[in-house]
Chains A and B, each alone.
Chain A
Amino acid sequence: MKKLLLGDEAIAQGAIDAGLSGVYSYPGTPSTEITEYIQKHAPQIRSRWCTNEKTAMEAALGMSYAGKRALVCMKHVGMNVCADAFINSAITGVQGGLVVLAADDPSMHSSQNEQDSRFYAEFAMVPAFEPSNQQEAYEMVSEAFEWSERFRLPVLMRVVTRMAHSRAAVQTGAPRTQNALSPASGKNWVLLPGIARRQYASLIQKQEDIRAAVSGSTGIEWTGEGELGIVACGIGYNYVKEALQTSAAAVRGILKVNRYPVSVEAVKELSQKCSRILVVEDGQPVVERTLPAMTAIKVEGRLTGALPRTGELSPDCVALALGAAAPATLPPARHLAARPPQLCPGCGHRDVYKALGEVAAGYPDARIFGDIGCYTLGALPPFSALASCVDMGASITMAKGAADAGVFPAIAVIGDSTFTHSGMTGLLDAVNDHANITIVISDNLTTAMTGGQDSAGTSKFEAICLGLGVEPEHLHVVVPLPANMAEITRIIREEIEYKGVSVIIPRRECMQTLKRHSKK
Chain B
Amino acid sequence: MKTDIILCGVGGQGILSIATVIGEAATKAGLQLKQAEVHGMSQRGGDVQSHLRLSTDTIWSDLIPSGGADLIISMEPMEALRYLPWLSPSGRIVTASAPLVNIPDYPDIDAIKGELEGLGCATLVDIDALAREAGAPRSSNMALLGAAASRLGIIDPQALLDAIKTVFSSKGEAIVESNIKAFELGCKHHV
- Where the two chains meet, the residues of A that have a C-beta atom closer than 8 Å to any C-beta of B are 2, 4, 6, 29-30, 32-33, 109-110, 162-163, 165-169, 235, 238-239, 241-242, 245, 314-316, 319, 326-344, 374, 377, 381, 449-451
* A334 near B62: Cβ-Cβ < 8 Å: no
* A316 near B44: Cβ-Cβ < 8 Å: no
Interface flags for B135-179 (1: CB within 8 Å of A; 0: not) read 000000000000000000000000000000000000000000000
Given A29-B39, A339-B10, A451-B39: 16 more A-B contacts, CB < 8 Å: A163-B62, A166-B36, A166-B62, A168-B33, A239-B61, A242-B65, A316-B65, A330-B87, A331-B84, A331-B85, A335-B78, A335-B115, A337-B106, A341-B41, A341-B42, A450-B40
Distance A235 CA – B37 CA, assembled complex (angstroms): 16
Closest Cβ of chain B to A234, distance in Å, is: 11
Beyond A242-B60, A315-B61, is A30–B34 a contact (Cβ under 8 Å)?
no
* A168 near B35: Cβ-Cβ < 8 Å: yes
Distance A342 CA – B100 CA, assembled complex (angstroms): 14
Closest 7 A/B residue pairs (Cβ):
A110-B40, A333-B81, A341-B46, A29-B40, A327-B67, A329-B67, A341-B44
Distance A327 CA – B108 CA, assembled complex (angstroms): 30
* B60 near A241: Cβ-Cβ < 8 Å: yes
Interface residue from B62, B103, B115 paired with A235 (Cβ < 8 Å): B62
* A339 near B44: Cβ-Cβ < 8 Å: no
* A328 near B89: Cβ-Cβ < 8 Å: yes
Closest to B62 in A: A166
A-B contact pairs, 22 of them (CB 8 A): A4-B33, A29-B39, A32-B39, A110-B42, A162-B63, A169-B27, A169-B33, A238-B62, A315-B63, A315-B65, A327-B67, A329-B67, A330-B84, A330-B87, A331-B84, A333-B82, A333-B84, A335-B108, A336-B82, A341-B41, A344-B45, A451-B39
Distance A235 CA – B103 CA, assembled complex (angstroms): 35
Closest Cβ of chain B to A186, distance in Å, is: 44
* B60 near A245: Cβ-Cβ < 8 Å: yes
For chain B, the bracket of interface size reads 35 or more
Distance A377 CA – B45 CA, assembled complex (angstroms): 11
Interface residue from B43, B44, B103 paired with A377 (Cβ < 8 Å): B44
Beyond A33-B39, A110-B41, A166-B36, is A319–B65 a contact (Cβ under 8 Å)?
yes
Closest to B68 in A: A327
Closest to A324 in B: B65
Interface flags for B54-80 (1: CB within 8 Å of A; 0: not) read 000001111111111000000000110
Distance A254 CA – B59 CA, assembled complex (angstroms): 18
Closest Cβ of chain A to B95, distance in Å, is: 12
**Total A-B Cβ pairs within 8 A:** 149
* B102 near A339: Cβ-Cβ < 8 Å: yes
* A336 near B41: Cβ-Cβ < 8 Å: no
Residues of A within 8 A of B104 (CB): 381
Closest Cβ of chain A to B31, distance in Å, is: 9
* A329 near B44: Cβ-Cβ < 8 Å: no
Closest Cβ of chain B to A138, distance in Å, is: 15
Distance A319 CA – B78 CA, assembled complex (angstroms): 29
Interface residue from B44, B65, B67 paired with A374 (Cβ < 8 Å): B44
Residues of B within 8 A of A316 (CB): 65-66
* B106 near A4: Cβ-Cβ < 8 Å: no
Interface residue from B27, B43, B87, B111 paired with A4 (Cβ < 8 Å): B27
- Where the two chains meet, the residues of B that have a C-beta atom closer than 8 Å to any C-beta of A are 10-11, 23-24, 27, 32-47, 59-68, 78-79, 81-82, 84-87, 89, 102-108, 111-112, 115, 119
Distance A166 CA – B86 CA, assembled complex (angstroms): 18
Closest to B64 in A: A315
* A342 near B46: Cβ-Cβ < 8 Å: yes
Residues of B within 8 A of A167 (CB): 23, 33-37
* B34 near A337: Cβ-Cβ < 8 Å: no
Residues of A within 8 A of B45 (CB): 339, 341-342, 344
Residues of A within 8 A of B40 (CB): 29-30, 109-110, 449-450
Distance A334 CA – B107 CA, assembled complex (angstroms): 10
Distance A331 CA – B63 CA, assembled complex (angstroms): 19
Distance A326 CA – B85 CA, assembled complex (angstroms): 12
Interface centre among A162, A330, A337, A381 (most CB of B within 10 A): A330
Interface residue from B27, B46, B66, B107 paired with A340 (Cβ < 8 Å): B46
Distance A334 CA – B141 CA, assembled complex (angstroms): 26
Closest to B90 in A: A328
Residues of A within 8 A of B103 (CB): 337-340
* A330 near B35: Cβ-Cβ < 8 Å: no
Beyond A241-B60, A315-B63, A377-B44, is A165–B36 a contact (Cβ under 8 Å)?
yes
Interface centre among A316, A328, A343, A374 (most CB of B within 10 A): A316
Distance A154 CA – B39 CA, assembled complex (angstroms): 28
Distance A324 CA – B45 CA, assembled complex (angstroms): 36
Interface residue from B33, B66, B81, B119 paired with A327 (Cβ < 8 Å): B66
Closest to A326 in B: B66
* A336 near B78: Cβ-Cβ < 8 Å: yes
Closest Cβ of chain A to B111, distance in Å, is: 5
* B34 near A168: Cβ-Cβ < 8 Å: yes
* A336 near B61: Cβ-Cβ < 8 Å: no
* B37 near A339: Cβ-Cβ < 8 Å: no
Closest to A167 in B: B35
* B78 near A166: Cβ-Cβ < 8 Å: no
Interface residue from A33, A166, A328, A449 paired with B34 (Cβ < 8 Å): A166
Distance A329 CA – B106 CA, assembled complex (angstroms): 25
Residues of B within 8 A of A241 (CB): 60-61
* B39 near A30: Cβ-Cβ < 8 Å: yes
Beyond A165-B37, A165-B38, is A343–B63 a contact (Cβ under 8 Å)?
no
Residues of A within 8 A of B38 (CB): 109, 165
Closest to B58 in A: A241
Residues of A within 8 A of B59 (CB): 168
Closest to B76 in A: A339
Interface centre among A239, A319, A327, A331 (most CB of B within 10 A): A327
Closest Cβ of chain A to B37, distance in Å, is: 5
Beyond A332-B84, A342-B44, is A337–B107 a contact (Cβ under 8 Å)?
yes
